[in-house]
A = this chain, B = another copy of it.
Amino acid sequence: MLSEFPHVAWIGKSQGVFRGTMFATKCSRQIGIVPRSASRKKCMLFWRLSIHNFALAILNRSGSIQDMKSLTEHLWFEVPNRRGFVNITDTVEKLVKKSGVQEGLCLVNAMHITASVFINDNESGLHHDYEVWLEKLAPHSPTNQYHHNRTGEDNADAHLKRQVMGREVVVAITNGRLDFGPWEQIFYGEFDGNRKKRALVKIIGE
């Protein structure tokens, strides 16, 4: 960084402005030499000038440092069936706006291990296909085919389905918006519903 501000680097190293030493010029960001003939008063003026230029440089630098911002929100769901998909794209987009983050990442994850967050098409036929397909890959019944259900649960299939659909998505934030392709939409995928469950939105960036 110091190489960006040669006069600042200089003022950091020097112990004052004396005849024959360098000083910082304001506009050019270059380094001048205090004339050997300069009076003591003139030396002081050069010194004051350099301190001011130092102030300017640090200020410019500070102004360009962006604090990292973050936002954390929980989304609540109560899907009134065992399985279902909820489009949460608009909700997440609003949270990105709220966060003030212009460039960063947005993590959205199910906080329960029998649910998913995934990105795909907002098309009801496809959602039907997912339902049929997941039930084929990891059928709910017979429930006694799963050791997990010996704990008294009947949701082992939900733990399996969620691995196929995924726990989370990470979406780029560019110019303050979700950086999405033409059809990308974020869904909460419920595989063991009829109760209150949560997803987490975590946004970090600047």
Contacts and interface: CB of A to CB of B under 8 A. Distances in A.
A129 B159 contact: yes
Interface string A130-168: 100100011000000011111100001001101111111
A72 B173 CA distance: 9
A64 to B, nearest CB: 7
B184 A120 contact: no
Contacts of A129: 146-148, 156, 159-160
B54 A130 contact: no
Given A137-B137, A138-B133, A181 B198 contact: yes
Contact of A172 (B103, B138, B202): B202
A104 to B, nearest CB: 6
B148 A160 contact: no
Contacts of A62: 1, 58, 61-62, 65
Contact of A133 (B125, B160, B167): B160
A49 B1 CA distance: 23
A82 B156 CA distance: 23
Nearest to A8: B59
Interface of A: 1-2, 8-9, 11-12, 14-16, 26, 47-49, 51-52, 54-56, 58-59, 61-68, 70, 72, 103-105, 107, 109-113, 118-121, 123-126, 128-130, 133, 137-138, 146-151, 156, 159-160, 162-172, 174, 179-184, 198, 200, 202, 204-206
